[in-house]
Each structure stands twice: as C-alpha cells, then as structure tokens.
Amino acid sequence: MEQTLTSTAAEQWAIGLFVLAVFGLCTFMIVASWLLGGRSRGREKALPFESGILGTGAPRQKFSVKFYLVAMLFVIFDIEAVYLFAWAVSLPESGWIGFWAATLFILILLAGLLYDSRTGALDWAPQPRSPVDSTRT
Amino acid sequence: MPAPLPLLSLGPFALVCAAAVTVLLGIAWQRMHTVSALVTIVGLLGALVLQLALQTPDSAETPLLVFDGLSHFAALMVLGSSLVVALLSHTYLRGYTGPREEFYLLLLCAAAGALILVASQHLASLFFGLELLSMPLYGMLAYRFQSSHSLEAGLKYLILSAAGSAFLLFGMALLYAQTGALDFTGLASEMGPWALAGTGLMLVGLGFKLSIVPFHLWTPDVYQGGPVPATMLLASISKLAVFVVLLRLVLEVPTFRDEALSALLAGLAILTMIVGNLLALRQSDLKRLLGYSSIAHFGYLLVALVIGSRFAVETAGVYLITYLVATLTAFGVVTLLSSPCRTEEASNLEHYRGLFWRRPWLAAALTVAMLSLAGIPFTAGFIGKFYILALAVDAQRWWLVAAVIAGSAIGLYYYLRVMVALFLREAADASRAGRGGHWLNDTIVLVLALLVIVLGVWPAPAVDWLAGLNY
Amino acid sequence: MMEMTVSLLPLTFLLPLAGTLLLAFSAGRLGERGAVWIGTGSVGLAALVTALVGADFALGNAGPQTLTLYTWIAVGEFAPSIGLRLDALSLTMLSVITGVGFLIHWFAGWYMRGEEGITRFYAYMNLFVFSMILLVLGDNLLLLFLGWEGVGLCSYLLIGYYYQNAANGAAAMKAFIVTRIGDVFLAVGLFLLFTQFGTLDIAELVTRATQAWSAGEPLAQLAALLILGGALGKSAQLPLHTWLADAMAGPTPVSALIHAATMVTAGVYLIARMHGIFELAPAVLYLVGMIGAVTLLMAGFAALAQTDIKRVLAYSTMSQIGYMFLALGVGAYSAGVFHLVTHAFFKALLFLAAGAVIVCCRHEQDIRRLGGLRRRLPLAYLSFVVGGAALAALPLVTAGFYSKDEILWQALAAEQQGLLIAGLLGSLLTGLYTLRLIVGIFHGEPKSKAAENAQPGRGPQHSVPLLVLAVLSTLLGAWLRPDLSAVFPAAPGADAHAGHTAVQLIASATAIIGILLGAWLFLTQGPKLARLAAEGAGAFFWRWWHRAFGFDGLYDRVLVRPFLGLVQSLRRDWLDAFCGLAGQLALVLHAGLSRSQNGQLRHYAIATVVGATLMVVILARA
C-alpha cells in the first residue's frame, strides 16, 4: 500500500510539474513579450496584414459542393484500399476465410461505387443528370 | 488457425447488412420507395426471427464479439425497435419530396452498428460499432435538410458526437497505455491511475451518447429538430446499445467498478435524474419533452450500473424493455400525427390539444405511454421503476433511492400535463384533424401500447425470460 | 370437465370488462341497439358462465378452491398475486350479481329507450358488474378493496348520470363522500391487518388472526371496528346512511342494481367474509346487531313518511339491510346472506316495477300525484303486489318470509330478545309502508294528468325481467337457499328448536297485522290520515320522519359547516405554503437550468469539456 502510494505520488508529482511547466512557459512568453516588446498604435496597424501585402477581397470563396463530395469519396475508397493492402500482406495467414472476406468487402465496395455513379455523385456537372433521379419527376 | 467463426450467431447481423446492400443496389437500379421499405422490413424481420431462433444456452465468441444472453436480449430489442421505426418511416416519408430510399439504407446501417456494439467485447469493435451506429444517425437527423431545424440537429449531433468520440478514443488510448490490451478481458488485467483516467474519459464519450448530465445539452435540440423516425431511432436503439456496452464494461472490467468511479457514477445518476426531470417541467414541445424524459430515464438506469450485480443486469433488462416500449409508443404517435411529412411536424403540445376527440385510439396510446414513462402501476414503466427501486433499496443506496423518488415525483407533473392536453375539449384546429393513415400504422402503435399494459399487468413472462438468459 | 368449467370463472368479470372497453371506445358509433346488445349480452354471458360453474359446484364436481390467476411481480418477499376464491358464499354473491344484474340490464334497455348517452350508461353498468364481481371473487383484501372502490366509483358515476341537473351531481358527490368516509376506515383496517400479519390473503389472514389473537383482544376489536366502518358506509347503515335516499337521483335500473340488489349489500358480504375477525371481537359483533336493529326501525319510520316512490324503496332497502346486519350481529351469517339473496330478488322487482310506473307516467314519481293505476298498468301492479308481499314477509308464499323468519328465530336463539322485538316491530312497519306505497300508486283515483294517461309498457324487454323476478320473489325463490354451512360456523339456532314454531307464528302474525292494518288505514282512512299528518303532533312526526330524523341537517350543522369553515380559514396557511415550496423550488431550478439550453453549440461543447475535466479531476483526487 505504502509502496503504491509513494509511486503514485511520484508519478503524479511528475505530471503536476509538467502541467505547471506548460502553464509557466505560456505565461512567461506572453508576459515577457508584453513587457519587452514595443507598442505602437495607428491606422495601418488595424489593417489585416499578410506577408506584407494588403488583402484583396474576401478570403471565403464558394466551392462547388461536388468538390468536397468527390474528395470525400476519394478518401473513402483510398482508405479501403489500405485495408486491402493489409490483407494482401497477410494472405497466407488469413487463408481462404480471409480471401472470401476480402472478396465480400470488394463486392460491397463495388456496390457502393455503383450507387455513387448511378445517383450522380461522381458527375462533375452542376445539374444532376443521374439516371436514377431523372426517372422521377 | 483461428477458431471457426460462429456463423449462425453472426446471422442476424449478416442479414441486416445484406438488406442494406440490397437496398443500396436497389436504389442504384431504380428508386422505388415501397420496395426499399419492404426489403428493409423483410431483412429486419428475418434477422429478428433468426435471433429468436438462436437462443442457445452456451455462448459463442470471436475475438471481437461475444454472443451471450445479454447480447441476445439487446439484439432482439435493437431489431424489434428498428422494425417498428422502419414500418412507421414508410408512412412518414410518403409526403417527403426529396429522395426517400436512403433513409432505409441509413436505418439498416445504424441497426447493424447497434448489433455490433451490443456484442462487442473489444475496444476496437466497440468503437467500430459506435461509429457505425452514429454515422447514419447524423444523416438521418439531417434528412429533412430543407428544414433548418433538421439540419441544425444533424450538425449539432455530428460535431458534439465527434467531440464525444474524441474523449472515448483518448480514454481507450490511456487504457491501452496502462494495460497493453484492447479486449475486455485484457483490460481487466491491470488497474492504475492511467486506467482510471482512461475509464473516466471513456465514460464521457459513452455518457455523451446516453445524454448523462453534464453531457446532455445536445439532447433536446437534436430530439426536436430531427425527423421523428430518426429521433425515434436515436432514443431507442442508440441509447440501448450504448447502455448495454457500458453495462458489459462495468461487469467485465474492474476499473469500471472502481470505488471512486462508482461514487462518481452515483453522483452523475442523481444529477441526471433530477436535472432531466427539472428541465422537462414546463416544456411545451413534446419531442423536447421526450428528450428530457430520456435523460431522466437513463439517470434511473445508471443506478443499475452503479450497483453492477447480477440482479442489476436483470433490472437493467427489465427497465430497458419498459423504456423502449413506452418510448416507441410515444414517438409512434408523434410520427403518425406528423405523417406524411409535408408541413411542420406535430411536436408542439398545442397539436395534441383535444386529440382524444379526434383520434381516440392514438390519444389512448399516448396516454398509456405517458403513464408508463411516469411509472404508474399497471403499466410497464412501473415494473421497471419498481425493479430499480428494489435494486437500490437492496444495495442500501439511500441517496439513489431518494433521487429516484424525487425524480419520479417531478416527472409526474409534466407527463400529466401532456395527458391533460389530450383530453381538453376545444380542438386546436380543425384542419389538423389529420386523416388516419394506413390502418397498419395505427395497429403498430396500438399493439405497442397494449404491450405497455400487458407488461405492466403481467410482467412475469418477460421477467422470467430475462432471468433465464445466461449471462 | 370439472377443470374446464372452473377455469372459465375469470370470464365472469372479463366479459363485463370487455363490454365496458368496447362501449367506451366505440365513441358512440354503436347506436342504441348496439349498446344495449353489448351491455346486456356481456352480463348475460357472465351469468351463463356463473350458471355452469354453479351447476358443477352444486353437483359436487368442483369443491371450494382458490384459483391463482397470476402473480403480478415477484421481487423478493413481495409477490402480490391475483386469485379468485370459489366457495358457496362467493358463488351465491356471484349468482345474484350476474343473474339479477342480467335481468336489470335487460330491463334497462326498455327503461332507457331514447335517452341520451345510452352507451355511457351501459359502459358504467358493465364496469360496475366487473368491479362487483372482483369484490366478491377476490381471494385477498387488496383485490376486494379494488372492487370496493370500483363499485363506489360506478355508483358515483351513475347517480350523477343526468349530470345536467346540478342536484344530481350533488347527490352523486354526497354518496361518494359519505361512502368514502367508510372506505377510509376500511383502508386503515386493512393496513392494520397487514402490519399485524403480513398478508392480505383472506383465508390466511383469518387463520393467523385466530392463532395470534384471543377473543376480545383490543387489536381485534379495533380491526373489526374499522372493517365495520367500511361496511356501514357501503351498506348505508347508521350513522353513514344519509346518502342512499339521495342516490335515487340515478336512473331506476341503477337504483335496482346498485342501490338495492348488489352494491349496498357489499357491507354484509364483507362482514360475512371476515367473520373470523368479528368472532374475535364479540363486542363489535354485538354492535353490528344493534346498528342493524336501530337502522331497520329508523328507516322503517322514515319510509312511512316519504312521498317519492323511490325514496320509500330506498328507506325500505336500508331497513332490510338492517335485518341482515341484525342477523350478522347474532352470528347467523347464513341467515343474513339468505336474506341478502331474497332481498335482491324482491327489491330489484320493486325497483323495476317502480321504474315501469315512472316511465309510463312520464317520469312522475310522487305518490301524491299518482293513483288508480291498477287497471292501466296490470303488470306493474302484479309486480308490486308480489314484491310488496315478499317485502312484508307474507307467510308461507313469499321468499321474504322464509329469510326474515330465519333471522328472527336466530335472534331469539341467540337470546337477544331486544333485537327480536326490534325485528318484529320493523316487520309491522314494513307492512304499513308497503301498503301505503301500493295503495298510493295503484288504488284510488288518478291524481294527475300523467297518471290518467299512463300507457302500459310493451315487449319482452319490459315484461320478462319483471315476471322472472316476480317468480323468484315467491316461495320458489326461497328454494334457492344456498347451503353455506361449509363457509360459516354453526348459527346459534342450529341445534335448538324450542320456540321456533312460536317465533314463526308471532312473525307471521306481525306481518299479517301490519299488512291488514296498512290496508285498513290507507284504503279507508286516507283523508283522516292526511289531516292527522297536517297538524299538531302528527305534523311534527310527519316532518321528522320525512326528513329521516333530521340526520342531514344534523350532519350539516355539526360536520359540514365547521369543516367548510375550517377549510376556508386554512386556505392560505403556512403549511400549505410550505408544501408549495417544493413546487416553487422545482420551478425556479427549472428556469435556471433552462438557461443552459440556449441552443449554442459552443456552449454545449464547453459544457462537455468542463464536465469531462471535472470528472477526471475528481477521479484523480480519489
């Protein structure tokens, strides 16, 4: 009991020190720069500043949602390919069960891909021209 | 050579997944609302029947999943609730102008996630199940994205849920750091400060899903904004599955039974019961009210976690059944009154003024659900609450007993308020009279309401069944 | 085969319950015919089931037994179960409830024709039958109490059936509150018994009580007294009798079923069922007899001075239940229950006949405005004569004679001469007021347009129930005497015979004298009597009896007004404010907590993080 208590205390003491150090460092940086740094005011100081060049226009531009959609789909299929890589490396160990599991996995992926293309998720055009959705009016 | 997979035990899960893929391919071929709904219902029904047939005395196991009495019970509840939601969704979505079929896809995915979650005995499957359950819910909550409320609900749930998941992952990482294991039995090997901290953080993540105070703030907004079937799913299978996995953690991993943690849980339970009920007091929106009520109910359920005995499992089982049946009934009525979803949903209590004089059966069903949620004798809710009280008294946790009683007393006020509104004379608006939907829908809700009463009047079969499940 | 019929027993109350639910949820779509069919049919089927079970029981195929229907929840020691007790007593009560109940339901189809809300009427009636059957079949006091409260509720609902008239609402309220006073006593009695013996199962309870208590034990006295309180309220005996006369505001079939045949006799049933406890408290048992005797005399006098047909019958009911209490008081339980059965027959007959008169004369029920209906309403006349004869215990040919004679003989055998004399005097009074009623309605000249133009009722709905009940009120009804020897201890006069014939002769003579005296007085001396009642001491007695000895006024002055005054002055007291504090606090907390639900995502996220931090800090400190 005594033993664990002391060891726990030792560990926690280390954490405490670490936390203190973090706060201390942050405080030190802010306070030191505030104390040491010069201060000046002016109209120019209030302007947005970026690499010495004045900003032109709003930074927020509208992207087509398709952009995100395609990016997301890419990431999803990409990650799934990573799984297949892991399977391929361990092919001898996982055996036939692994093979059929991977096949099922790929088939489900294919179904997903088919769904994506049929609902128009992969079309770049602004108007949805999906064969599925255009059948409904 | 790995042990052979218990294919049969995985059957219901496989069926649900197969139904999901079928719906997916069906949409890719041609959008047909009724067919999608039918495939979903058949898949869920098949899984339910298979699950019922599966009841084997000895449990099957894989490294990630375990199929025992607890997961059998939970899987049945999940499949049953999903089936009810699927059936009611069809009516609800008829009036929806956007694509409707994906709703079923999401529903099936969520059900699959819940099935994994309730059977998981490994942190990886826990996380996987939880995400598979939550991801579709984001989509479902934001399904009516033309309505800003629905969109707001989906986004809020997404962001806060991601935060919750982050806590959960951090907790898991700490646990792993302490024990070097991810499976529940391995986690049990060692205890220490890191494990305790990890447990606490995991509790934050899971408590968020269960909307335990102080992680409950999202509940009313999300309940109110989401389309009713999505909310219904959130209130039923999501909470049930997360609670079951938490229960399994408490039972199997000693750090979850640590004295300090147990005391903390007791505190959270008391806080949750009282705060949940207090928040609901003057609520005039039925869906929000049900959200607050679910907070309070999971407060009561936490009592079972705090005590964590063999009897506690049975108690939790009884309570979950009673909670589910009553909640599904209440949301079922709301769904039927909001269907088809052309205009705003019928969530304000004003809509329910004088409902008895327009749709007496639905009003009766809602009354029964409210009585049950309030825990009035001869409804299912009383049996559940009685078990909780018996459990707490048996364990001599008097603070918990006091909180349950105080919470129930406060709760009575707002449940009764809903009932009073149902029977008031002047109908709110004749145009809201609402034509009856398909008779099947009314029947589902009435059967659920009947079940509430049957469970309350004759609980012995259900209780015996629960006691007989091997865990 | 035997298992079969007995297992049908639950149907007797499930059928009326199903009827109630069906009627309640039909929301008036059934129409009048449908409502009558369902309402009557469910009770009819219940009566059929009762007949099947009863036949098996009588043939000895099925003995007394307890059917455990189910156990509600079983958590540790606490396992309330619902069971039905089938024995001679419960079967007797069941037969009366379903049999007489069925006839009254049938008749009500005729009586209520064209009334508004007939669905509601039958829904309440079926609910009443359901509750009443639960009351008599329940094998534990909890179930009995459930039925007890259920019948009270139905009584309230049906007395106030014509709720547009405020007076009816007041009458319903009065009945409810007065019986509720008794119910409180009963409930406290049940608590007492439960704390003493830890069970509410009647058989078990009585066994334990006889083991634990000796006769005259104070606790036993107290328990018996509390149960008696409940019985007094329900059975309208002194001092909780004031509600019954006002309860006549309900439709007449209701008065027949609830306020004559079944519910008001529940008190008699209760005492008979719990006789084991009363045997342990001889003083209380004696009190039961005394109360019965006083009530029967008081109600007899009051019945003499009523002008409303139904109020005469109401006081007569009180008086007859007084006889039953008298029987219970001398330990002759079986005689009391026998009188309960015959009384159910002839009083239901009288009420239904009164209902027929009332409907035929366009809801005229004042004796002073009726008269001469003998020829116009022959069936009603016949019913009144047969029923009246049974009520007045006309020797040898009526059912009432046999049961009342039994009671008087047992009173003598128990050496309670005081009670015997009260019973004989009561029987004289019974003859008088019965004759006054019959003469007032059917003889002499019609005294109003309504009576002149009375149209007799037609159809089997009207005539068959009256005829069946009339047959049952004669000698034939007395043959249906239930054999209760297995349920009750031997009555005091079981072995003795000395003086039985003498009592029979005296009782017969009293009854005949009463009838003849009544006939002479009311047929020939009518104007003289009227003069006598209008002036001097006669007027005083008339008024005094008319107001039933002024109990209403007394209670109003002594109890109601001081209570209302107290309530007024306590309307805004500190205790109330203190109790309200909890609610206020909840509202304040609610308002405070609601502010946290501001819809701001960032606040929610911050709350989560803060909560998580706090949790970890608490865990780290531990």
- Is C80's Cβ below 8 Å from some Cβ in B? no
Report the distance separating Cα C14 and Cα C17, nearest Å: 5
Q: How many Cβ atoms are within 10 Å of B70's Cβ, its own excluded?
A: 23
Establish if B196 belongs to a structural domain.
no
B445 to each of B65, B355, B359, B362, how far by Cα in Å? 33, 15, 13, 8
- Condensed to tens digits (0 to 9), the pLDDT of residues C88-115 reads 888 888 999 999 999 999 998 888 887 7
Quick check: B275 pLDDT over 90?
yes
Higher pLDDT, C443 or A82: A82
Establish if A54 belongs to a structural domain.
no
Residues of B in contact with A112 (CB under 8 A): 24
Burial profile C400-436: b = 16 or more Cβ within 10 angstroms, e = fewer: bbbbbbbbbbbbbbbebeebbebbbbbbbbbbbbbbb
Cβ distance A111 to B25 less than 8 Å, yes or no, reads: yes
Residue-level pLDDT at B341:
64
Higher pLDDT, C297 or C414: C297
Residue-level pLDDT at B135:
94
pLDDT band at C1 (very low <50, low <70, confident <90, very high): very low
Last residue of a domain, one of B230, B249, B268: B249
Chain B interface, mutation test: which of C597, C603, C621, most B Cβ atoms within 10 Å?
Answer: C597
What percentage of chain C has pLDDT greater than the value 70?
A: 97
Q: Which residue has the tokens 């033309």?
A: B146
Residue-level pLDDT at C2:
47
Nearest chain B CA: its distance from A110 CA (Å): 10
End-to-end CA distance of chain B: 28
In this structure, are B113 and B220 located in the same domain?
Answer: yes
Q: Which residue has the tokens 């009164």?
A: C354
- Is C599's Cβ below 8 Å from some Cβ in B? yes
Establish if A58 belongs to a structural domain.
no
- Condensed to tens digits (0 to 9), the pLDDT of residues B283-303 reads 889 999 999 999 999 999 999
- Condensed to tens digits (0 to 9), the pLDDT of residues B138-179 reads 999 999 888 888 999 999 999 999 999 999 999 999 999 988
In this structure, are B28 and B108 located in the same domain?
Answer: yes
Establish if B348 belongs to a structural domain.
yes
In this structure, are A86 and A123 located in the same domain?
Answer: yes
Cβ proximity of C347 and C317 under 8 Å:
yes
Cβ distance C597 to B167 less than 8 Å, yes or no, reads: no
Cβ distance B279 to C597 less than 8 Å, yes or no, reads: yes
Cβ proximity of C256 and C104 under 8 Å:
yes
Residue-level pLDDT at B53:
87
In this structure, are A123 and A70 located in the same domain?
Answer: yes
Mean of pLDDT values over C291-309:
89
In this structure, are A69 and A127 located in the same domain?
Answer: yes
Q: How many domains does chain B have?
A: 2
Per DSSP, the three-state class of C25 is helix
- Condensed to tens digits (0 to 9), the pLDDT of residues B198-239 reads 999 999 999 999 999 889 999 999 999 999 999 999 999 999
Establish if A60 belongs to a structural domain.
no
Range of A109's domain?
A: 65-135
In this structure, are A127 and A70 located in the same domain?
Answer: yes
The least confident of B367-381, C491-505, C513-527 is: C491-505
Mean of pLDDT values over C294-298:
90
Sign of CA dihedral C427, C432, C437, C438: positive
- Is B385's Cβ below 8 Å from some Cβ in C? no
Q: How many Cβ atoms are within 10 Å of A70's Cβ, its own excluded?
A: 16
- Condensed to tens digits (0 to 9), the pLDDT of residues B66-91 reads 988 899 999 999 999 999 999 999 88
Higher pLDDT, C449 or C104: C104
Per DSSP, the three-state class of C84 is strand
In this structure, are B244 and B269 located in the same domain?
Answer: no
Nearest chain B CA: its distance from A46 CA (Å): 33
- Is B193's Cβ below 8 Å from some Cβ in C? yes
Residue-level pLDDT at B1:
39
Range of B83's domain?
A: 11-160+215-249
Any idea what the Cα angle at residue C563 is, between residues C558 and C564, rounded to 5°? 115
Cβ distance B27 to A12 less than 8 Å, yes or no, reads: no
Quick check: C136 pLDDT over 60?
yes
For residue B221, which of B175, B269, B156, B166 has the smallest C-alpha distance?
Answer: B156
Report the distance separating Cα B308 and Cα C332, nearest Å: 59
- Condensed to tens digits (0 to 9), the pLDDT of residues C70-88 reads 777 666 666 667 788 888 8
Of B5, B21, B28, the CB nearest to A132: B28
- Is B24's Cβ below 8 Å from some Cβ in A? yes
Q: How many domains does chain A have?
A: 2
Mean of pLDDT values over A12-16:
80
What percentage of chain B has pLDDT greater than the value 70?
A: 94
Establish if B327 belongs to a structural domain.
yes
* 3-state SS track over C506-563: HHHHHHHHHHHHHHHHHHHCHHHHHHHHHCHHHHHHHHHHHCHHHHHHHHHHHHHHHH
For residue C433, which of C567, C297, C553, C267 has the smallest C-alpha distance?
Answer: C297
B235 DSSP assignment: I
Domain borders along chain C are 1-207, 281-524, 576-621
Cβ distance C75 to B386 less than 8 Å, yes or no, reads: yes
Residues recorded for chain A: 137
Q: H helices of B101-212, where? A: 102-119, 123-141, 148-179, 184-187, 193-209
CB pairs under 8 A between B and C: 104
Other chains touching A, judged by 3 or more CB pairs under 8 Å? B
Q: Which residues contact A28 (CB under 8 A, 6 or more apart)?
A: none
Report the distance separating Cα B352 and Cα B421, nearest Å: 6
Higher pLDDT, C204 or B27: B27
Residue-level pLDDT at C109:
87
Other chains touching C, judged by 3 or more CB pairs under 8 Å? B
In this structure, are B133 and B229 located in the same domain?
Answer: yes
- Is B220's Cβ below 8 Å from some Cβ in C? yes
Residue-level pLDDT at B350:
82
In this structure, are A86 and A40 located in the same domain?
Answer: no
Q: Which residues contact B73 (CB under 8 A, 6 or more apart)?
A: B317, B466, B469
In this structure, are A34 and A71 located in the same domain?
Answer: no
Residue-level pLDDT at C77:
63
Mean of pLDDT values over C379-395:
87
- Is C620's Cβ below 8 Å from some Cβ in B? yes
Q: Which residues pair with C474 in a beta bridge?
A: C398
- Condensed to tens digits (0 to 9), the pLDDT of residues C215-264 reads 778 888 888 889 999 999 888 888 888 888 888 888 888 888 888 888 88
pLDDT band at A50 (very low <50, low <70, confident <90, very high): low
SS3 content of chain C, % helix, strand, coil (to 5): 75, 5, 20
- Is B135's Cβ below 8 Å from some Cβ in A? no
What percentage of chain C has pLDDT greater than the value 90?
A: 9
- Is B369's Cβ below 8 Å from some Cβ in A? no
Cβ distance B221 to C597 less than 8 Å, yes or no, reads: yes
Report the distance separating Cα C376 and Cα C443, nearest Å: 11
Cβ distance B217 to C607 less than 8 Å, yes or no, reads: yes
pLDDT band at B400 (very low <50, low <70, confident <90, very high): very high
C291 to each of C231, C353, C405, how far by Cα in Å? 11, 30, 19
Q: What is the mean pLDDT of chain A?
A: 80
Residue-level pLDDT at B94:
85
pLDDT band at C308 (very low <50, low <70, confident <90, very high): confident
The least confident of A83-87, B124-128, B361-365, B437-441 is: B437-441
Residue C62, classified by CB atoms within 10 Å of its CB into exposed (0-12), middle (13-18) or buried (19+), is buried
Cβ proximity of C576 and C567 under 8 Å:
no
Quick check: C575 pLDDT over 50?
yes
Residue-level pLDDT at B185:
87
Cβ proximity of C169 and C161 under 8 Å:
no
Residue-level pLDDT at C472:
87
Residue-level pLDDT at B340:
66
In this structure, are B244 and B348 located in the same domain?
Answer: no
- Condensed to tens digits (0 to 9), the pLDDT of residues B386-398 reads 999 999 998 899 9
Kindly report each contact of residues C378-381 with a partner whose C-beta sits within 8 Å and lies 24 or more positions away, as own/partner: C378/C456, C379/C456, C379/C457, C379/C462, C379/C463, C379/C466, C379/C467, C380/C353, C380/C356, C380/C456, C380/C457, C380/C466, C381/C442
Nearest chain B CA: its distance from C608 CA (Å): 5
Of C73, C603, C608, the CB nearest to B383: C73
Mean of pLDDT values over B91-112:
91
Residue-level pLDDT at B39:
95
Residue-level pLDDT at C505:
86
- Is B439's Cβ below 8 Å from some Cβ in A? no
Residue-level pLDDT at C161:
87
Residue of C nearest to B364 (CA): C25
Establish if B209 belongs to a structural domain.
no
